[in-house]
Amino acid sequence: MYSVSVRDHFMIAHSFNGDVFGPAQRLHGATYVVDAEFFRSELDADGIVVDIGRAAEALRAALAAFNFRNLDDDPVFKGRNTTTEFLARVVFDRLTAAIRGGELGAAATGIERMRVTLHESHVASAAFDGSLSLAR
Amino acid sequence: MYSVSVRDHFMIAHSFNGDVFGPAQRLHGATYVVDAEFFRSELDADGIVVDIGRAAEALRAALAAFNFRNLDDDPVFKGRNTTTEFLARVVFDRLTAAIRGGELGAAATGIERMRVTLHESHVASAAFDGSLSLAR
Amino acid sequence: MYSVSVRDHFMIAHSFNGDVFGPAQRLHGATYVVDAEFFRSELDADGIVVDIGRAAEALRAALAAFNFRNLDDDPVFKGRNTTTEFLARVVFDRLTAAIRGGELGAAATGIERMRVTLHESHVASAAFDGSLSLAR
Amino acid sequence: MYSVSVRDHFMIAHSFNGDVFGPAQRLHGATYVVDAEFFRSELDADGIVVDIGRAAEALRAALAAFNFRNLDDDPVFKGRNTTTEFLARVVFDRLTAAIRGGELGAAATGIERMRVTLHESHVASAAFDGSLSLAR
Amino acid sequence: MYSVSVRDHFMIAHSFNGDVFGPAQRLHGATYVVDAEFFRSELDADGIVVDIGRAAEALRAALAAFNFRNLDDDPVFKGRNTTTEFLARVVFDRLTAAIRGGELGAAATGIERMRVTLHESHVASAAFDGSLSLAR
Amino acid sequence: MYSVSVRDHFMIAHSFNGDVFGPAQRLHGATYVVDAEFFRSELDADGIVVDIGRAAEALRAALAAFNFRNLDDDPVFKGRNTTTEFLARVVFDRLTAAIRGGELGAAATGIERMRVTLHESHVASAAFDGSLSLAR
């Protein structure tokens, strides 16, 4: 299996609901350094997994909607805790939509799996990985 | 699949038996920077894989038994080479016991798999990953 | 010149005032990974720059006041932009006070200079360094 | 599953063919920092996945053939784009040959899978992983 | 002293002249991950060392002239070895010109010193730092 | 000022004397990842600070004397605590001797200053820097 990974980041404010979160129930924030890794069994005719430039642009676009925002104000996240693992899934879903929408180019249709990792500090990260059922 | 990863470290002395180890047969030591990654298919009701604070504490507790020790003196390791890959498994087993013992909280019962990575330098690391058969 | 450096982090929300900040004028947040480096010309009788355990505790204490907070709500920062470089100075001043208050132990009186670096992402950081005029 | 990973690097010049590569169609170059990770289900009698010293030497040897070269001049790569993902596979194949040739020692026959990752910058990497069908 | 640092990268081909360079006399290449650090004694009225967005853009612009190029073909470098330390100075000079040209904004006139570091691999880097005599 | 930095590592056992060290008074160990940075005002005729290959070899040789050793057994360190900051100075002194002994080549006589940093974990490091008074 081949893969290509690109990195970007975004910076947000949010708060959590639930005793398990302790002081993180207060409004605070985070920098998330994001790795998006794209997997496929065979390279395309150009010898690539995906156009790395378009992958980087798609990741930037996926993060731009959150960047410099207070996630508590976003109706999309109403009633949800925007934990690092939850946000990894959100970015995964946005990149899946970008691939299906053709934003990563024709070659990207060969992508079979993705892994999105959000590093929230030098000691903690979270990830979501899954297959890309393009028929979904 | 979702995952959350936490990082900590420990510092030990040890020596190895066997020609394959060359100069590492002498008493020497290492800093191990440890990443413990917890995997599960679905988030719990709070939107988390595991309480990251309790995961960090459990990792710290798992490493505390070795920290600032000469592993050659520990009867548990009698007759074994405490290689990086071997120690990755030891930490894995201790974290498994911690999960089963409830130290990571009720949510942690949903953890299906773990991966423990020990970085011994900027150029070498070892890992053990496996499923968490909680019935074992 | 000898130095010792310890690392910790904190996670905050804040916003900035001024056109220069563009979208960062909105309420957002950041993880700051902090390196505090302590300098002195000669080691003490124990062969250290500073008790590294107490240095780590002092850094943790200095950051605890901000951790999981919205800095916009802190009257101390009223009318100030809590930029990364500004916060580097704030942490510097808190560590200076800790040293003078004896929190880092008697050996720490030999510290002549400090450098505090805040990493806000994988591509940006800010720092403040200065001498420790203990008579100030 | 156990694994051991070693890191080295190589520095090459090359160019790509195809509109998808944009400015990378020009002759340019890259430093590739390479992680080679070796997987096996059980440790050998010495408690290791592979002799880490021999693994590091095998990786160094695998990279030496390319190091300080213009890949466009290598007849082996004639008509191929030496993308990061393509080169990950090339290194994978060379390490597979090294294992089969006995260069990593008898213990290495237990290696079941490898993952080779090439980091081309602080924001991009590519990898190839696969099983080691030693009968191939 | 305050500072702000931004990171970017560029990828080039080149070769060196001189026995001291050994195999690096052959045409090869490198990824340079570049940190540009800007120093000043006092923050400006907005509480910043420099507009970090403009600093990042200026760094990108400074590197764009080299990116995806064979430096051996650039008449500017005729008769010079484009070593990592030499290139650190070249980037330093370009950023100095950008500051003087107003590309980093009015606030940047307060910048007193810069340090430019080029990381060529995980084990080697070079840097140039100097004061910014704006009258020069 | 120009500089070039090279990285290597060594792995040792040791123990400390003094209440300030707490559990580190027990026999334990560490991996030290070492950065040796060489400074000079002007590049030599080849356009370099120092032959990076010879610098890497000199660093490797300086560390080889300690690697895979118990420092408590080394008579050189009798009655001294081999703290990270102390060891940074030891490596500094060995590299100084190597430069004076001609091991880094004729160009190295231009080196004016060095900084040696030992990273003992992902959260702690120590360094020693000083001028190279070659007449000493």
User: Looking at CA atoms only, how far is residue A10 from chain C in angstroms?
Assistant: 9
Q: Report pLDDT for D133.
A: 74
- Contact status of A2 with chain B (Cβ, < 8 Å): no
Q: Report pLDDT for B108.
A: 86
pLDDT averaged per 10 residues, chain B (length 136): 98 97 97 98 96 96 97 96 98 96 88 98 98 67
Q: Do F47 and E80 touch (CB under 8 A)?
A: yes
Q: Return the percentage of chain D with pLDDT > 90, whole number.
A: 93
- Contact status of C126 with chain A (Cβ, < 8 Å): no
Euclidean distance between CA atoms E109 and D130, whole angstroms:
54
Euclidean distance between CA atoms E30 and E13, whole angstroms:
6
Q: What does the pLDDT average to over D56-66?
A: 97
**Which DSSP state fits F33?**
E
- Contact status of C111 with chain F (Cβ, < 8 Å): no
Q: What does the pLDDT average to over A60-85?
A: 97
User: Looking at CA atoms only, how far is residue B33 from chain E in angstroms?
Assistant: 18
Q: Which helix (H) or strand (E) holds B95?
A: helix B84-100
All residues of chain F having their beta carbon less than 8 Å from the beta carbon of residue C1 are 128-130
Q: Report pLDDT for F136.
A: 44
Q: Do A86 and B53 touch (CB under 8 A)?
A: no
Q: What does the pLDDT average to over E76-98?
A: 97
All residues of chain D having their beta carbon less than 8 Å from the beta carbon of residue E126 are none
Q: Are E39 and E3 a contacting pair, CB within 8 Å?
A: yes
User: Looking at CA atoms only, how far is residue F124 from chain A in angstroms?
Assistant: 13
Q: Do F11 and B30 touch (CB under 8 A)?
A: yes
Q: Report pLDDT for A72.
A: 98
User: Looking at CA atoms only, how far is residue C107 from chain D in angstroms?
Assistant: 39
Euclidean distance between CA atoms F43 and B135, whole angstroms:
66
Q: What does the pLDDT average to over D29-35?
A: 98
User: Looking at CA atoms only, how far is residue A123 from chain F in angstroms?
Assistant: 9
- Contact status of F122 with chain A (Cβ, < 8 Å): yes
All residues of chain D having their beta carbon less than 8 Å from the beta carbon of residue A1 are 128-130
Q: Taking 60 as the threshold, does the pLDDT of residue F135 lie above it?
A: no
Question: Are chains C and A in touch, 3+ Cβ pairs below 8 Å?
Answer: yes
Q: Taking 60 as the threshold, does the pLDDT of residue F134 lie above it?
A: no
Q: Do F46 and E20 touch (CB under 8 A)?
A: yes
What's the Cα-to-Cα distance from A66 to each of A59, A82, C20, C69, F134, rounded to whole Å?
12, 11, 20, 19, 56
Q: Report pLDDT for B106.
A: 80
- Nearest Cβ partner for F12 among B29, B69, B123: B29
Q: Taking 90 as the threshold, does the pLDDT of residue D11 lie above it?
A: yes
All residues of chain A having their beta carbon less than 8 Å from the beta carbon of residue D80 are 47
Q: Report pLDDT for D135.
A: 44
All residues of chain F having their beta carbon less than 8 Å from the beta carbon of residue E123 are 6-8, 56
Q: Do E126 and F2 touch (CB under 8 A)?
A: yes
Main-chain dihedrals φ then ψ at residue B46, nearest 5 degrees: -85, -5
Question: Are chains B and C in touch, 3+ Cβ pairs below 8 Å?
Answer: no
Q: Return the percentage of chain A with pLDDT > 70, whole number.
A: 98
Collapsed DSSP state (helix, strand, coil) of residue F75: helix
- Contact status of E122 with chain B (Cβ, < 8 Å): yes
Euclidean distance between CA atoms B103 and B111, whole angstroms:
13
Q: Taking 70 as the threshold, does the pLDDT of residue A136 lie above it?
A: no
- Contact status of E127 with chain C (Cβ, < 8 Å): no
Q: Report pLDDT for B67.
A: 97
Q: What does the pLDDT average to over A2-7?
A: 98
Q: Are D114 and D92 a contacting pair, CB within 8 Å?
A: yes
User: Looking at CA atoms only, how far is residue E134 from chain D in angstroms?
Assistant: 32
- DSSP labels, A15-73: ---SGGGGGGGSSEEEEEEEEEEEEESS--TTS-SS-HHHHHHHHHHHHHTTTTEEGGG
- Nearest Cβ partner for F2 among E22, E85, E122: E85
Per the structure block, which two tokens stand in for F127? 């360094």
pLDDT one-digit tens code per residue, E15-63: 999 999 999 999 999 999 999 999 999 999 999 999 999 999 999 999 9
User: Looking at CA atoms only, how far is residue C103 from chain A in angstroms?
Assistant: 25
pLDDT one-digit tens code per residue, F103-115: 998 878 899 999 9
Per the structure block, which two tokens stand in for D19? 């509109």
All residues of chain D having their beta carbon less than 8 Å from the beta carbon of residue C122 are 122-123
Q: What does the pLDDT average to over D10-34?
A: 97
C-alpha F80, offset from chain centre: 17
pLDDT one-digit tens code per residue, A101-131: 999 987 788 999 999 999 999 999 999 999 9
Q: Do E68 and D14 touch (CB under 8 A)?
A: no
User: Looking at CA atoms only, how far is residue D4 from chain B in angstroms?
Assistant: 4
All residues of chain E having their beta carbon less than 8 Å from the beta carbon of residue B122 are 122-123
Q: Do B123 and D6 touch (CB under 8 A)?
A: yes
Q: Do C107 and F83 touch (CB under 8 A)?
A: no
Q: Do C129 and E1 touch (CB under 8 A)?
A: yes
Q: Do B126 and D46 touch (CB under 8 A)?
A: no
Per the structure block, which two tokens stand in for A38? 């794209």
Q: Do E20 and F47 touch (CB under 8 A)?
A: no
- Nearest Cβ partner for B128 among D2, D53, D107: D2
All residues of chain F having their beta carbon less than 8 Å from the beta carbon of residue E127 are 2-3, 5
Q: Are B108 and F19 a contacting pair, CB within 8 Å?
A: no
Chain B residue with Cα closest to D106: B20
What's the Cα-to-Cα distance from F102 to each of A50, B34, F55, F62, F98, rounded to whole Å?
50, 40, 11, 14, 6
Q: Report pLDDT for F121.
A: 98
Q: Report pLDDT for F107.
A: 76
Helices (DSSP H) in A65-112: which residue ranges?
84-100
- Nearest Cβ partner for B7 among A18, A82, A123: A123
Q: Taking 60 as the threshold, does the pLDDT of residue C38 lie above it?
A: yes
Q: Return the percentage of chain D with pLDDT > 70, whole number.
A: 98
User: Looking at CA atoms only, how far is residue B121 from chain D in angstroms?
Assistant: 10
Instruction: Please state whether the predicted TM-score (pTM) of the whole model is above 0.90.
Output: yes
Chain C residue with Cα closest to A24: C68
- Nearest Cβ partner for A2 among D22, D81, D85: D85
- DSSP labels, E37-96: EEEESS--TTS-SS-HHHHHHHHHHHHHTTTTEEGGG-GGGTTS---HHHHHHHHHHHHH
- Contact status of D122 with chain C (Cβ, < 8 Å): yes
